[in-house]
Amino acid sequence: MKALRAVLRAIDWLSIGSGKVAALALVALILVVNIGVLTRKVFHNPISWNFDLSYMLWGFIFVIAAAWTQLREEHVRIDLLVNRLPSKAAVVLGVILYAAICLPTLFIITWKGVEFAWSSWRLRETIPSPPYLPLYPLKATVPVGMFLLFLQATAKVIRDFARLLGREP
Protein backbone atom coordinates (compact mmCIF):
# COMPACT_ATOMS: atom_id res chain seq x y z
CA MET A 1 0.00 0.00 0.00
CA LYS A 2 2.93 2.30 0.70
CA ALA A 3 4.25 1.86 -2.85
CA LEU A 4 0.80 2.62 -4.29
CA ARG A 5 0.59 5.82 -2.24
CA ALA A 6 4.01 6.84 -3.58
CA VAL A 7 2.90 6.19 -7.17
CA LEU A 8 -0.31 8.18 -6.67
CA ARG A 9 1.67 11.07 -5.14
CA ALA A 10 4.05 10.98 -8.12
CA ILE A 11 1.11 11.14 -10.54
CA ASP A 12 -0.34 14.08 -8.60
CA TRP A 13 3.07 15.77 -8.67
CA LEU A 14 3.23 15.39 -12.47
CA SER A 15 -0.29 16.80 -12.79
CA ILE A 16 0.55 19.77 -10.58
CA GLY A 17 3.69 20.34 -12.64
CA SER A 18 1.70 20.28 -15.86
CA GLY A 19 -0.68 22.83 -14.38
CA LYS A 20 2.24 25.11 -13.49
CA VAL A 21 3.65 24.80 -17.00
CA ALA A 22 0.21 25.64 -18.39
CA ALA A 23 0.02 28.69 -16.10
CA LEU A 24 3.35 29.95 -17.44
CA ALA A 25 2.14 29.35 -20.99
CA LEU A 26 -0.98 31.37 -20.14
CA VAL A 27 1.21 34.30 -19.13
CA ALA A 28 3.05 33.95 -22.46
CA LEU A 29 -0.30 33.83 -24.30
CA ILE A 30 -1.47 37.01 -22.58
CA LEU A 31 1.77 38.74 -23.56
CA VAL A 32 1.56 37.55 -27.17
CA VAL A 33 -2.06 38.68 -27.52
CA ASN A 34 -1.36 42.07 -25.93
CA ILE A 35 1.71 42.64 -28.10
CA GLY A 36 -0.38 41.76 -31.14
CA VAL A 37 -3.10 44.19 -30.18
CA LEU A 38 -0.55 46.91 -29.43
CA THR A 39 1.31 46.55 -32.71
CA ARG A 40 -1.93 46.37 -34.72
CA LYS A 41 -3.92 49.15 -33.02
CA VAL A 42 -1.23 51.57 -31.89
CA PHE A 43 1.53 51.12 -34.47
CA HIS A 44 -0.74 50.01 -37.35
CA ASN A 45 1.75 47.25 -38.08
CA PRO A 46 0.33 43.79 -37.31
CA ILE A 47 2.69 40.92 -36.61
CA SER A 48 2.15 38.09 -39.09
CA TRP A 49 2.87 35.29 -36.63
CA ASN A 50 0.82 36.66 -33.73
CA PHE A 51 -2.43 34.83 -34.42
CA ASP A 52 -0.65 31.56 -35.18
CA LEU A 53 1.39 31.69 -32.01
CA SER A 54 -1.74 32.57 -30.02
CA TYR A 55 -3.70 29.53 -31.14
CA MET A 56 -0.64 27.31 -30.72
CA LEU A 57 -0.20 28.50 -27.13
CA TRP A 58 -3.91 28.03 -26.46
CA GLY A 59 -3.77 24.46 -27.80
CA PHE A 60 -0.70 23.76 -25.66
CA ILE A 61 -2.44 25.09 -22.54
CA PHE A 62 -5.60 23.11 -23.24
CA VAL A 63 -3.75 19.80 -23.63
CA ILE A 64 -1.12 20.21 -20.92
CA ALA A 65 -3.53 21.48 -18.26
CA ALA A 66 -5.92 18.51 -18.68
CA ALA A 67 -4.26 16.34 -16.01
CA TRP A 68 -4.16 19.21 -13.52
CA THR A 69 -7.84 19.90 -14.21
CA GLN A 70 -8.61 16.21 -13.59
CA LEU A 71 -6.67 16.28 -10.33
CA ARG A 72 -8.80 19.19 -9.16
CA GLU A 73 -11.95 17.49 -10.54
CA GLU A 74 -12.86 20.58 -12.54
CA HIS A 75 -13.60 19.02 -15.91
CA VAL A 76 -17.04 19.73 -17.28
CA ARG A 77 -19.46 16.95 -16.51
CA ILE A 78 -23.18 16.39 -16.48
CA ASP A 79 -24.26 15.89 -12.89
CA LEU A 80 -27.94 15.43 -13.63
CA LEU A 81 -27.85 11.69 -12.87
CA VAL A 82 -24.97 11.65 -10.39
CA ASN A 83 -26.57 14.27 -8.12
CA ARG A 84 -29.68 12.07 -7.76
CA LEU A 85 -27.72 8.98 -6.72
CA PRO A 86 -26.52 8.15 -3.23
CA SER A 87 -22.83 9.04 -2.87
CA LYS A 88 -21.65 5.40 -2.89
CA ALA A 89 -23.65 4.65 -6.06
CA ALA A 90 -22.21 7.78 -7.70
CA VAL A 91 -18.69 6.58 -6.92
CA VAL A 92 -19.49 3.10 -8.31
CA LEU A 93 -20.88 4.66 -11.48
CA GLY A 94 -17.79 6.86 -11.76
CA VAL A 95 -15.40 3.92 -11.39
CA ILE A 96 -17.31 1.90 -13.99
CA LEU A 97 -17.48 4.76 -16.51
CA TYR A 98 -13.85 5.78 -16.03
CA ALA A 99 -12.64 2.18 -16.35
CA ALA A 100 -14.90 1.29 -19.28
CA ILE A 101 -14.89 4.50 -21.30
CA CYS A 102 -12.45 7.17 -20.12
CA LEU A 103 -9.28 5.13 -19.64
CA PRO A 104 -9.54 3.14 -22.89
CA THR A 105 -10.33 6.32 -24.82
CA LEU A 106 -7.37 8.17 -23.32
CA PHE A 107 -5.12 5.20 -24.04
CA ILE A 108 -6.18 5.20 -27.71
CA ILE A 109 -5.79 8.99 -28.02
CA THR A 110 -2.31 8.74 -26.48
CA TRP A 111 -1.33 5.87 -28.78
CA LYS A 112 -2.66 7.59 -31.92
CA GLY A 113 -1.23 10.88 -30.67
CA VAL A 114 2.25 9.35 -30.69
CA GLU A 115 1.77 8.36 -34.34
CA PHE A 116 0.33 11.81 -35.10
CA ALA A 117 3.25 13.60 -33.42
CA TRP A 118 5.91 11.30 -34.89
CA SER A 119 4.60 11.90 -38.41
CA SER A 120 4.70 15.64 -37.84
CA TRP A 121 8.26 15.49 -36.41
CA ARG A 122 9.47 13.41 -39.37
CA LEU A 123 8.07 15.98 -41.79
CA ARG A 124 9.21 18.93 -39.65
CA GLU A 125 5.67 20.17 -40.23
CA THR A 126 5.04 23.91 -40.19
CA ILE A 127 1.93 26.03 -40.32
CA PRO A 128 0.89 26.63 -43.93
CA SER A 129 1.28 30.41 -43.87
CA PRO A 130 4.30 32.68 -43.44
CA PRO A 131 6.42 32.78 -41.33
CA TYR A 132 5.92 28.97 -41.32
CA LEU A 133 6.19 28.42 -37.58
CA PRO A 134 7.00 24.82 -36.60
CA LEU A 135 3.87 22.84 -35.80
CA TYR A 136 5.48 19.57 -34.72
CA PRO A 137 6.33 20.68 -31.15
CA LEU A 138 2.66 21.52 -30.58
CA LYS A 139 1.55 18.17 -31.98
CA ALA A 140 3.96 16.43 -29.63
CA THR A 141 2.05 17.84 -26.68
CA VAL A 142 -1.03 15.78 -27.60
CA PRO A 143 0.36 12.37 -26.54
CA VAL A 144 2.20 13.92 -23.58
CA GLY A 145 -0.90 15.69 -22.27
CA MET A 146 -3.18 12.73 -22.89
CA PHE A 147 -0.75 10.36 -21.18
CA LEU A 148 -0.66 12.65 -18.13
CA LEU A 149 -4.46 12.77 -18.17
CA PHE A 150 -4.55 8.96 -18.48
CA LEU A 151 -2.31 8.67 -15.42
CA GLN A 152 -4.43 11.10 -13.40
CA ALA A 153 -7.68 9.39 -14.42
CA THR A 154 -6.13 6.05 -13.41
CA ALA A 155 -5.21 7.55 -10.03
CA LYS A 156 -8.82 8.69 -9.62
CA VAL A 157 -10.15 5.20 -10.36
CA ILE A 158 -7.71 3.66 -7.87
CA ARG A 159 -8.63 6.18 -5.15
CA ASP A 160 -12.37 5.80 -5.75
CA PHE A 161 -12.14 2.00 -5.80
CA ALA A 162 -10.17 2.06 -2.55
CA ARG A 163 -12.81 4.35 -1.04
CA LEU A 164 -15.50 1.84 -2.03
CA LEU A 165 -13.53 -0.86 -0.20
CA GLY A 166 -13.22 1.37 2.85
CA ARG A 167 -9.49 1.87 2.41
CA GLU A 168 -7.38 4.93 1.80
CA PRO A 169 -4.59 4.40 -0.75
Q: What is the pLDDT of residues 101-147, one digit of tens each?
A: 999 999 999 999 999 999 999 999 999 888 899 999 999 999 999 99
Q: What pLDDT, on the 0 to 100 scale, is given for residue 135?
A: 94
Q: Write the burial class of residue 115 (CB in 10 Å: 0-12 exposed, 13-18 middle, 19+ buried).
A: exposed
Number of H helices, E strands in the chain: 6, 0
CA–CA dist 117, 124 (Å, integer): 10
Range of lowest pLDDT (42-46, 79-83, 88-92, 99-103): 79-83
| CA dist., res. 12 & res. 154, Å (int) | 11
pTM: 0.92
Residues 88, 84: Cα–Cα separation, whole Å: 12
Q: Kindly report the CA angle at 116 between 74 and 65, in degrees rounded to 5? A: 20
Q: How far is CA 78 from CA 83, 94, 101, 140, 161, in A?
A: 9, 12, 15, 30, 21
Average pLDDT over residues 87-93: 91
| 1: confidence class by pLDDT, cuts 50, 70, 90 | confident
Q: What is the pLDDT of residue 16?
A: 98
Range 16-44 average pLDDT: 96
Domain spans of the chain? 2-164
> In the predicted model, what is the mean pLDDT of the chain?
94
Mean pLDDT, rounded, for 31-57: 93
CA distances to 46, 88, 163 from 83, rounded to whole Å, are 49, 11, 18
Considering only CA atoms, which of 134, 140, 123 is closest in space to residue 63? Answer: 140
Give 84's pLDDT tier (boundaries 50, 70, 90): confident
